[in-house]
Structure 1
Amino acid sequence: MAALSGGGAPWRRGWLPALQFVRRGSKAVTRHWKAMHFQRQKLMAVTEYLAPRPAIPPCCLTPKKEKVEEVEEVFRDNRMIAICQYNSMPGEDVVLMRHYLRKHNIEVKFVLNEIVRPVLSQSKYKNLLPLFVARNILLVSPELKAKEMLRVLKGVPQVNLLGACIDDTILSRRGVENFAKLPSLEVSQGQTVGALALLPSQTSSLLQRGPAHLTALLDEHIRRLQAGETGSPPEPAPAHSSGGH
């Protein structure tokens, strides 16, 4: 025991010290948010990965049945269908153009050639296919509003009229302009009624001209006969209307 408890305590040299858990006063860790440096923000934005866009949108690869039915409905329910070439323009101008056209009951339809061309190729409007070669829009109306449509498009140089189908008749741009110059239906009806009323009056004048001329000749002959019996000169015959010129 003396040796164990001796002055050098040799056994303690190889003894591992006991672990002591000292609980210090806990201190709350507070981290203040610091904004990212502007240069680092730009670097992160430039190096951000962007997935490549497909060359053709998926919606254009397989036309949806609803869009095909919409195109068929447009050509079935409208008397005037104008095909126009559409160039990019600000959204405010598009809204303004639609507003002025809607005042005349004309609607703007944005369509894809990949959907329109298969529909037209199997219909009576297949002769319109050469017009669908670029980005196109349709101006459609259940009424014949060619004059009003041209007046609106005159102030929109980004939209060029290529042709139209009016009452199942395909017209070029010049044909649409000539159609717009025609008088309205009411005026045309009035002109037709006037022409039909003029024909019977002219026919009646032609039929009355012969009998009136014959009557005048007979009256002149009778007067001459009467003048020869009495020996007096014949009186001048009164002027008779010939019933026409």
Structure 2
Amino acid sequence: MGSIGKGVLYGKTWQPLLQSVRYNRRVNIQKPRPPHYIRARLEMLAKPIFPEPIEKLLPLSAKCKLKEEEEIRNFRIDNPYENLLAKELLQLYNDSRLIAICQKNPMIAEDQFNMIIRFKRNKMVIKYDGKHTTKLALKGTKFEPVLDLFTVHQCAIFCKEPNVKALLTNLKKTPQLILLAAIVDGYYANVNQIKEYARLEDISHARAQLVSVLNSAAQSIVSGLNHHQTALVSGLDQYLNLKEGDSNISESKEKENEPQSSSANTSETSTT
């Protein structure tokens, strides 16, 4: 009995053999075979009925979520460090006479380092600030129209002197930077206007030419006013010279006549 119980308890149980059969055709997944009509009736009776969502009953203006998404996207926590960067950026805008806005395309780190060195040699500074920092710095100032240019990847080049020629030469050596616009001495200029400004001569040379033109006009006015006086003086000088010449001729003739008269007197005395 004990051996029989052990065989029943610890022996192997019978397991049925399972084998899948497709009946020589593939299962149609896209258009399955409709179920039995009794099963279909039970499924229709057991199908739950959910109430319609409230959003379908609201007007279209209330369904729009763009405003909420924009508010969530524009919500930013007040950052003191970002405020400090904005103040420094605004100070840089106010102190610079030349500000160039460029589109920055991808470049390797070595080219970017060489580009910074080239601009640094010409006393120019490149700033890569975010759109929100730039907006925080320029909102409500005279530089607010520049915000339309900052869309994706832009940078600003600052210089305390309007050295436009050096800017264009450095940009030619850096094709990854595309010039969009610039501010020269407070005036907004596009690319064509900047190129025309670069063709102009130095301001000191232009000032010298202006001074020479003004001096020539003043000199012509002075000479015109003094023309009659100088003509009168020259005429009087010529008249005096003629008078002195006539007096000298008469004196020379008198001197020539004096010896002849003296010789005549001597001859008369000798005859007497």
TM-score, normalised on structure 1? 0.58
Post-superposition CA distance 1:19-53 (Å, at most 9, x none):
xxxxxxxxxxxxxxxxxxxxxxxxxxxxxxxxxxx
Post-superposition CA distance 1:42-73 (Å, at most 9, x none):
xxxxxxxxxxxxxxxxxx95452222122112
Whole-angstrom CA distance in 1 between matches of 2:229 and 2:135: 68
Whole-angstrom CA distance in 2 between matches of 1:97 and 1:206: 59
Percent of aligned pairs sharing the same letter: 24
**Partner residue of 2:196 out of 178, 181, 201:** 178
**Partner residue of 1:130 out of 110, 130, 148:** 148
Q: Give, as a single letter, the amino acid of the residue that structure 2 aligns with 1:74.
A: L
Q: Give, as a single letter, the amino acid of the residue that structure 1 aligns with 2:159.
A: S
SS of structure 1 residue aligned to 2:173: coil
Counterpart in the other structure of 1:201: 219
Counterpart in the other structure of 1:108: 126
- Equivalent residues of 1:111, 1:137 under 8 A apart: yes
1:205: Cα distance to partner?
4.1
TM-score, normalised on structure 2? 0.52
Whole-angstrom CA distance in 2 between matches of 1:151 and 1:193: 31
Whole-angstrom CA distance in 1 between matches of 2:126 and 2:202: 24
Whole-angstrom CA distance in 2 between matches of 1:188 and 1:181: 13
Counterpart in the other structure of 2:107: 89
Structure 2 stretches lacking a partner, 5+ long: 1-74, 234-272
Counterpart in the other structure of 2:167: 149
Counterpart in the other structure of 1:188: 206
SS of structure 2 residue aligned to 1:122: coil
Q: Give, as a single letter, the amino acid of the residue that structure 2 aligns with 1:101.
A: F
Whole-angstrom CA distance in 1 between matches of 2:76 and 2:171: 32
Mapping 1:75-86, distance limit 5 Å: 75-86=93-104
1:74: Cα distance to partner?
1.4
1:211: Cα distance to partner?
7.4
Whole-angstrom CA distance in 1 between matches of 2:116 and 2:157: 10
Runs of 4+ in 1 over 4 A off after TM superposition: 60-63, 208-215
Whole-angstrom CA distance in 2 between matches of 1:90 and 1:129: 27
Structure 1 stretches lacking a partner, 5+ long: 1-59, 216-245
Q: Give, as a single letter, the amino acid of the residue that structure 1 aligns with 2:83.
A: K
Richer in helix (by share): 2
Post-superposition CA distance 1:151-203 (Å, at most 9, x none):
01012111011111122221111222222222112212211221111111222
Whole-angstrom CA distance in 1 between matches of 2:131 and 2:213: 47
1:118: Cα distance to partner?
3.4
Post-superposition CA distance 1:116-139 (Å, at most 9, x none):
123223101112222212211111
Whole-angstrom CA distance in 1 between matches of 2:110 and 2:217: 56
**Partner residue of 2:181 out of 138, 159, 163:** 163
- Equivalent residues of 1:117, 1:132 under 8 A apart: no
**Which one is further off, 72-81 or 199-208?**
199-208
Number of aligned pairs?
160
